[in-house]
A and B are shown apart, each in its own frame.
Chain A
Amino acid sequence: MRDTASAPALEVAGLAKRFGHVRALRGVDFALGAGESLAVFGPNGAGKTTLLRVLAGLLRPDAGTVRFGGAALVRGDAQHRRRVGLISHHSLLYDGLTAAENLVFYARLYSLADPHAAAAGALAGVGLEARAGDPVGTFSRGMVQRLAIARALLHDPDVMLLDEPFSGLDQRAAATLRSLLGRLRAERRTMVVVTHNIDEGLELATHVAIQVAGRFVSLGPRDGDLAAYRARYAEATARDG
């Protein structure tokens, strides 16, 4: 990966996590510099979501360390949580509240200075100002995903984690999402995208990993095209799957 004098934006070493008798993660290591994005491909059950949840601070690993800009992730550390944003295929939003109410609530949780202004700004950023007063329950899936991105960006995180962000989106919504994510890349945010769909993840990535059964079987800068990765992925999953 990149060799820099300053600490990498995100550094992971020896991450392990088990649930009962199932070992979801068995030693994951990587480092990402600021502005780089890692796409993690893998079949279902490879532990990709577990990896993301550990990075987000939602799960505590049994072993290993996670560092953001050199600072280790300590359990119960609220400071770290400000640096991370998560977009998952669940929206993490309340259908009974309006778009604006959802964002104002999150702004309050993050102790932002002016919750209403922050919410309005975030809504404008994803093109949803017109629907600010509508309950999220009335939104289409594509709109929900855009609102989820607004929510994740509210507190201006250094690192964005995306878990199967394109799942359930139609062509148009997927295109909107792609352009939004492209903008994030242009803003030099560090990203980790986890997906089983190579086509969608590859575009965003500067680095690619393939995860099978709890560990990375391949990791490196993106150096091939879609076909090459498809082949590599098929080979990796056939060998270890």
Chain B
Amino acid sequence: MTATQSAERALKRGGILMAVGLFLVAGVYVRALLFTPEEATQGLAQKIFYIHAPSAWVALYLAYGVVGIFSVLYLFLKDPRLDLLASSSAEVGTVFTTVVLITGPIWGKTIWGAWWTWDARLTATLFLYFVYLAYLVLRSAVDEPGRRARYSAVLGILGALLVPFIHMTVYLFRTLHPMPVVLQPGRPRVPGPMLVTILYAFFAFTVFYFGLLARRYAWARLKAERAQREADGGDASR
């Protein structure tokens, strides 16, 4: 099949994955609100955790990890599709980061009384947001696709390596964040049903991320194919 047809097929498949992910995420809401007990000290507000934490996982580690890996691959292999994948992941990651930065202060306001405290995790997320934004602004500043891909890859690699440093920097400063309850050595302190909900939430958000990524990537490929066809079509008459 032609490249365009393959891109269109990918678009449809991406759409399906995205819809599945969305359905699963809706399930998170249902489960969190109806089937999970309320937490003792924080009450209803704690349930934002089921959105906040999985979004943070996707934004900070999954999405940026994908950007970093595919940036490196692009510099070695020079396949433009690798660049499209990296940039799609950056866009999706930016969306999830926005979710983290909105749900965080909402949660903070209800339990600590302040919209923003320079708490370690949230600050790290904010700084990572700057990296994502820098990536997107850089892409919009370069028109020629080859150079745009190269520059994005360079920034992608540097940014991916910056993530651990931002974490370490921020953690050296005092932290107010609730201690990670699930990933503690030994047994997690979260009671059974809440643990199930949070694990399910991580799973659902991960699927949703891949759905969005697949769809965005397929769309980017389709656009590139169409632009290529137009450019070639003009030349074919020579």
Q: Contact residues of A with B, CB < 8 Å?
A: 19-23, 213, 240
Q: How far is the CB of B233 from chain A (nearest CB, A)?
A: 10
Measured CB to CB, the closest approach of chain A to B228, in angstroms, equals 5
In contact, B145 and A20 (Cβ under 8 angstroms): yes
- The residue in chain B whose Cβ has the minimal distance to the Cβ of A215 is B238
B178-197 Cβ-contact flags toward A at 8 Å (1 or 0): 00000000000000000000
Decide: B238 and A21 in contact? CB cutoff 8 A. Answer: no
Dominant SS at the B interface?
A: helix
Residue interface bits B207-238, CB-to-A below 8 A is 1, else 0: 00000000000000000000110111001001
Whether A21 contacts B231 by the Cβ 8 Å rule is yes
Q: Of all chain A residues, which has the CB nearest B144?
A: A20
Are A21 and B146 within 8 A (Cβ)? Answer: no
Contact of B238 among A19, A20, A22, A213 (CB under 8 A): A213
Asked whether, in the complex, the Cβ of B227 is within 8 Å of the Cβ of A19, the reply is no
Task: Tell me the smallest distance from the CB of A75 to a CB of chain B, in Å.
Answer: 12
Our pick among B146, B232, B235 for the contact of A19 (Cβ within 8 Å) is: B146
Residue of B nearest to A212 (CB): B238
Closest chain-A Cβ to B230's Cβ sits at a distance in Å of 8
Chain A residue numbers with a CB within 8 Å of B232 are 21
Q: Enumerate 14 A-B pairs (CB-CB under 8 Å) in ascending A order.
A: A19-B144, A19-B146, A20-B144, A20-B146, A20-B231, A21-B145, A21-B227, A21-B230, A21-B231, A21-B232, A23-B231, A213-B235, A213-B238, A240-B238
> CB-defined interface of B141-158 with A at 8 Å, one 1/0 digit per residue?
000111000000000000
In the complex, A10→B28 CA distance in Å?
68
Residue ID in chain A nearest B229 by CB atoms:
A21
A21, B227: Cα distance in complex, Å: 7
Question: Taking CB as reference atom, which chain A residue is nearest B231?
Answer: A21
* Alpha-carbon distance between A20 and B235 when the two chains are bound, in angstroms: 14
Q: How far is the CB of B22 from chain A (nearest CB, A)?
A: 34
A240 to B231 CA separation, bound complex (whole angstroms): 17
Cα distance A24–B177 in the bound complex, in angstroms:
56
Query: Is A23's CB under 8 angstroms from B235's CB?
Result: yes
Interchain nearest-CB distance for A38 vs B (Å):
23
